Structure 1
Amino acid sequence: MQIDEPVHLEPYDESWNELYRSERKRLLLAVGGLTKAIEHFGSTSVPGMTAKPIIDILVGVEDTSVAADEIVRRLKGNGYEHLGEAGIPGRQYFRQRGLHDYNVHIVQYGGELWNNNLLLRDYLREHPEEAQRYSDMKKHILERGAQTLLSYSDQKHAFVSGLLERAAAWAGA
């Protein structure tokens, strides 16, 4: 299981929301009884943002340790590759590559990972100037030579941390 993979960016595509809705339906059939909520997050969920054309889906569960084995079994049965925590404690990471690409992140519903990812998404949706700055920064990272997921993610980490701080201030957290 190799987590690193090539990355590229694409301009915002309105079909990303429909792809999310379609995959959400499949996920509900597969693991719906084990989840509290399913949300679209990441850059493909923010209108106008440049993004890796991979639909990120956040799945909130009551207790990740209780649901993990059953979710792993069911998602693998639906064509997802399980990559464990993949460097983020408290998350179970799955990906599916094909005609359309998906990442599924299983986290504790209402926990820090759940709240921070949705806060960042909502902040970027409400602040298009920040979404544009983030898009520009991601393009710049690729122009400087980051062509794989791990390098790309490492180079944008500080910027995303700053965005999250501004989002928390915006939300009054």
Structure 2
Amino acid sequence: MTGELTPEEITTFSDAPAPPGRTPWVIEPRVEEIQIVDPDPRWPERARALMDRIRDALGDRALAVEHVGSTSVPGLPAKPIIDLDLTVADSADEEAWLPALEAAGFVLTVREPWWQEHRCLKPSPGGANVHVFSPGTPELVRHRIFRDWLREDEADRRLYADAKRRAASEAAAQGELMMEYNARKAAVIREIYQRAFRAAELLKE
């Protein structure tokens, strides 16, 4: 699962902000209502359709496409937004993969060269985020660990569901963006990660 990454690389988070004068936004976000809804059995089917669309567009340039995030965890309330991780040979080499995805109706919304060369695209119609990384990126491994842990651990599913609902309510009351909503639940996410990392024997007790 971890490839050539060390346990330290996987378990160490980097929260560095964008460099001065830089922004991650290719398309500026707008305030929109953040809703946490009950689990929908159609989410995996929606994810598979998007994954097929990406593979059709990229062929063997799509090294891996995975359903991650809350909609990939059965029984977990979530925003009705599908999150996918797409692995390409070099996410920084946009010319190698972005035009084909744009032709298939995906729009680049985020570019973060300073954070694991992350890119994010949204399909048309919406309802999904496609996170693009290169092989060996720690975030790819973390996403799988988090997903697989929540699929197995009922107590942490409940804990995370409560944190999501609380963060969504508070963010809505303040008219905040998705970034602020994510920040409001970050402490609980890190707490769950610690248990998941220990279960994967990446952290010592």
TM over 0.5, yes or no?
yes
Distance 2:105 2:90 in 1: 23
Q: Report the count of equivalent residues.
A: 171
> Identity over the aligned pairs, expressed in percent?
27
Is 1:140–2:147 an aligned residue pair? Answer: no
Distance 1:87 1:8 in 2: 30
Distance 1:56 1:157 in 2: 17
Distance 2:92 2:113 in 1: 17
Is 1:18–2:50 an aligned residue pair? Answer: no
| Correspondent of 2:64 among 20, 37, 41 | 37
| Correspondent of 1:28 among 42, 52, 55 | 55
> Residues 76 and 130 from structure 1, CA distance in 2 versus in 1: closer, same or farther, beyond 3 angstroms?
same
Is 1:49–2:83 an aligned residue pair? Answer: no
In the alignment, residue 177 of structure 2 is paired with which amino acid? T
Secondary structure at the aligned position of 2:111 is classed as coil
Secondary structure at the aligned position of 2:29 is classed as coil
* Bigger Rg over Cα: 2
1:138-163, CA deviations, whole angstroms, 9 ceiling, x for partnerless residues? Answer: 10112224453121011112221222
Is 1:158–2:191 an aligned residue pair? Answer: no
C-alpha deviation, 1:61, in angstroms: 2.1
1:169 is matched with which residue? 198
In the alignment, residue 65 of structure 2 is paired with which amino acid? I
Distance 1:88 1:122 in 2: 27
Distance 1:160 1:4 in 2: 24
C-alpha deviation, 1:23, in angstroms: 1.1
The question of whether the paired residues in 1 share the 8 Å contact of 2:88 and 2:133 is answered with: yes
1:117 is matched with which residue? 143
In the alignment, residue 183 of structure 2 is paired with which amino acid? D
TM-score, with length taken from structure 2: 0.77
C-alpha deviation, 1:70, in angstroms: 2.7
In the alignment, residue 137 of structure 1 is paired with which amino acid? A
TM-score, with length taken from structure 1: 0.90
1:93-139, CA deviations, whole angstroms, 9 ceiling, x for partnerless residues? Answer: 111253x5111001122320110111110111111221111011110
The question of whether the paired residues in 2 share the 8 Å contact of 1:3 and 1:86 is answered with: no
Distance 2:83 2:59 in 1: 17
Q: Structure 2: where are the runs of 5+ without partners?
A: 1-26
In the alignment, residue 158 of structure 1 is paired with which amino acid? A
Distance 1:13 1:87 in 2: 34
1:55-84, CA deviations, whole angstroms, 9 ceiling, x for partnerless residues? Answer: 101011232234x22322111112212023
Secondary structure at the aligned position of 2:143 is classed as helix
The question of whether the paired residues in 2 share the 8 Å contact of 1:60 and 1:110 is answered with: no
Alignment RMSD (CA, Å): 1.9
